[in-house]
Amino acid sequence: MIKKKAFVRYLFSYILVLIIPITTISYFIYFQFIGQFQEEVMSSATKTLEQTRDTINKYIESFASLTSNLSTNPDISYLLSKDDVEKIDTYPYVLNAIKELSKYRNANSILENIFVIFRNQNVVIGDLSKYDLDTFTERVFKLDSEKSRNFMQILNTARGEVILPLKNVTYNERQTDVILYIQSLPIKDIFPKATLMMIVDEDSLIRSMENYLKEYKGYACIFDQDNNIVMSTEFGDFKLSENERNLLLSEIENQSRNNYSISKHSYVISYVRSQKNDWKYISFIPSTNILSKVRFIQQRMVEIIILSLIIGMLVILYLSKKDYYKINKILNSIKVHEQDLAIEGSSNISEWDIINEAIVNYISKNDALQEKIYQQIPLMKNSFFTRLINGRINDETDIADTLDLLGLELNRKYYGVFIIETDIKDTVSNVSNIKIGDGSHENTKLVREVIQATLTDIVRKAAGKDCFIYALEDQKHTLDIIIGIGDKDIDDENLEYSVKYFHQIASNIKEFVKRDLGFTVTIGIGCLYSNLINLDDSYTEASKALEYK
């Protein structure tokens, strides 16, 4: 029974070629994509924090500029110059101050309200109205009792610029988180008479971060120069315990760079520092939330890989069958033509074993045929050159193929034909009638062969080793010599020089024959040609030359 090892090998090879690259490429693409995506998230988070930092810095600068303008405003300065603001007439002084505060508030979109709280007096002037202190702390800006006392102490003792975050403030009848910008008035005065308080809703500052960070349900916070939390928020349903937050903050507490991103403790941590006020802007995004964004891509990639494998397996099956069909065709031919092979009785024999056995058997059976072909090579050469000079080969491709078959490599620059005719025909005829001991007659063919061999040796001697020489005996009992002169690749002699050399060879032949053999020859000389296909023209020219001897 023949095992289909070749088919299995084809199938297995194709599967390896398919699965290994797809698996390897998919692995690297997937993890490289995750790494790049995480880097993009880090970069985007850092940019968001930088935008928030820049925005808050601009707001603080605008607040400082507003405070400077407000402190020099005539209507506000008038009130600051009085020791008892309660006794100042509401119209026009207080109303003018309210209008000015309203203008300043409208000029800055992030401000909710502006208040001037006069110290040690029962007067608060805002951008909407004038209040007594109790009404302000109970109705307008309400804190619990303990926070209220601390808050009032801060207002009465503040010197310079103070930024104060407050949680759960009842403000304008709603509970919210606010950030206060507090500045003593007059600015840089040793004994301030009032405190300027600007109110900013924390949500307006969070909104710039929320647009990006809420997508990943993370945590963001802002620390001031003393590492006090100015603002913090959690996006979505994300909850961060205080222990987790402290652990993550410890990763960047000694960070001196202005921006920094790291993946640690299953979080992507981004950090930005303000060079103007040394505030720190920090965000924590859980890595699982980032990876959840690539799950869709991961699913699609798996689907594509599975589809590619299915299509690949179908193609593999088709190609394997197609390749095996050729092997099977060879096996069927072997069964038909090599019936002496022991195939049917063998067990566990593969296709390759059968083909190998058939080849060995074929070679052993055809050794005799190869020997016969080798013996026929000289006759094949004679036939080829005879047909060539007689013009029976008209295709250069046929010439090249035949030379390759005969093992001849002709790379000469020029080719021509000599026809040598001996002047001893009568002697040869007389010799043909000589009787030998057994009563037979010696054939003139033997004499011609001796003369042909001798003349061929003389031609080789006259032409030299660098020339190609081939001798033929034609039907007229003349000797046809094909001569190749010069090397096509390295010789640079022109045709005129080669023709002279060609004629000199003919002269040398006549001289050597006369000297060594004692008789003369007549040589018909054809022209030289650069291609073997033109040898019939050279032969015709040599034949015509003999006619005029």
Span 373-412, pLDDT tens digits: 677 788 888 888 888 888 888 888 888 888 888 888 888 8
Q: CATH says 1-61+217-294 is which class?
A: alpha beta
By CB neighbour count within 10 A (0-12 exposed, 13-18 middle, 19+ buried), where does 81 fall?
exposed
Residue 460 has pLDDT above 80, yes or no: yes
pLDDT band at residue 491 under the 50/70/90 scheme:
low
Residue 280 has pLDDT above 50, yes or no: yes
pLDDT band at residue 427 under the 50/70/90 scheme:
very low
pLDDT value of residue 504: 92
d(CA 90, CA 97) in angstroms, rounded, equals: 10
Cβ atoms of residues 79 and 88 within 8 Å? yes
- Candidates 214, 287, 284, 217; CA nearest to 245 is 284
pLDDT band at residue 294 under the 50/70/90 scheme:
low
The two three-digit tokens of residue 356, written as one number: 């190998």
Q: What is the mean pLDDT of residues 73-95?
A: 90
Q: How many residues does the chain have?
A: 549
Residues 518-530: tens digit of each pLDDT? 888 889 999 999 8
Q: How is the chain split into domains, by residue range?
A: 1-61+217-294, 72-201, 410-547
Residue 15 has pLDDT above 50, yes or no: yes
Q: Which residues of 381-391 are buried (b: 16+ CB within 10 A; e: fewer)?
A: beebbeebbee
Q: What is the mean pLDDT of residues 345-353?
A: 62
pLDDT value of residue 483: 93
pLDDT value of residue 293: 65
pLDDT value of residue 35: 72
- Among 266-280, 303-317, 406-420, the range scoring the smallest mean pLDDT is 303-317
- Which residue in this structure is represented by tokens 């692995």? 27
- Which residue in this structure is represented by tokens 């400082």? 64
d(CA 321, CA 4) in angstroms, rounded, equals: 11
pLDDT value of residue 428: 46
Q: What is the mean pLDDT of residues 358-364?
A: 72
Q: What percent of the chain has pLDDT over 90?
A: 18
Long-range contacts from 538-543, C-beta under 8 angstroms, 24+ separation: 538/389, 538/415, 538/416, 538/417, 539/389, 539/390, 539/417, 539/419, 539/480, 541/417, 542/417, 542/418, 542/419, 542/480, 543/419
pLDDT value of residue 549: 65
Positive or negative, the CA dihedral 316, 319, 321, 324 is negative
Query: Could you name the CATH architecture of 410-547?
Result: 2-Layer Sandwich (3.30)
Residues 131-183: tens digit of each pLDDT? 999 899 888 898 877 777 888 888 888 888 898 888 888 887 888 889 999 99
pLDDT band at residue 482 under the 50/70/90 scheme:
very high
Cβ atoms of residues 352 and 6 within 8 Å? yes
pLDDT value of residue 443: 57
pLDDT band at residue 486 under the 50/70/90 scheme:
confident
pLDDT band at residue 256 under the 50/70/90 scheme:
confident
Q: pTM score, two decimals?
A: 0.50
| CA angle in degrees (0–180, nearest 5) for 192-197-203 | 160
- Whether CATH 3.40.50.300 fits 72-201: no
More confident residue, 348 or 106: 106
Residues 108-139: tens digit of each pLDDT? 888 999 999 999 889 999 999 999 998 998 88
pLDDT band at residue 343 under the 50/70/90 scheme:
low
Q: What percent of the chain has pLDDT over 70?
A: 84
pLDDT band at residue 1 under the 50/70/90 scheme:
very low
pLDDT value of residue 224: 86
Positive or negative, the CA dihedral 239, 267, 258, 242 is positive
pLDDT value of residue 125: 95
More confident residue, 126 or 24: 126
pLDDT value of residue 23: 74
Residues 398-408: tens digit of each pLDDT? 888 888 888 88
Residues 201-235: tens digit of each pLDDT? 888 877 767 766 777 778 888 888 888 888 888 87
End-to-end CA distance of the chain: 78
- Among 48-52, 180-184, 268-272, 430-434, the range scoring the smallest mean pLDDT is 430-434
Cβ atoms of residues 194 and 80 within 8 Å? yes
Helices (H), 72-201: 74-80, 95-107, 133-135, 145-157
